[in-house]
Amino acid sequence: MINKFKVAFLGLKSAFLDKSILLQMILGIVTIIVFNYLKISYLEWLAVIILIGVVIMAEIFNTCIERICDLYDSKFNQKIKYIKDLSSGGVLLICIFAAAVAIIIIIKHIGG
């Protein structure tokens, strides 16, 4: 059981070394700082923390999918491009939803 946690923590350590994942983590920290300044509500914090986690998880899964595809075929492959595009699209979609939630919260606290 403890071994599984060791492997999981090694995975998180690896995630910190990936540029795309690290960028999402930095954006998550910036988001936390901004919303801490805005003094958002408990429920708003729940939404923000969940969405930050989902965005980072999506980026981790996207990176895994890209790396697996690269192992399968290092040359250009239209089918692999399609898979990578879908995976990246999934990350973009959750980022759009997260941004929409962030905008709604910011408007409530600044403009409303």
pLDDT digits (tens, 9 = 90+) for 95-106: 999 999 999 999
The pLDDT of residue 111 is 79
Beta-carbon contacts of 85 under 8 Å, excluding residues fewer than 6 positions away, are none
Helix axes 19-38, 2-17, angle to 10 degrees: 90
Judge contact between 18 and 56, C-beta under 8 A. no
pLDDT by position in tens, the chain (length 112):
888 899 999 999 999 999 999 999 999 999 999 999 999 999 999 999 999 999 999 999 999 999 999 999 989 999 999 999 999 999 999 999 999 999 999 999 997 6
Judge contact between 56 and 24, C-beta under 8 A. yes
Q: What pTM was computed for the model?
A: 0.91
Chain-centroid distance, C-alpha 7: 20
- Domains in the chain: ranges and CATH: 2-111 (1.10.287.3610)
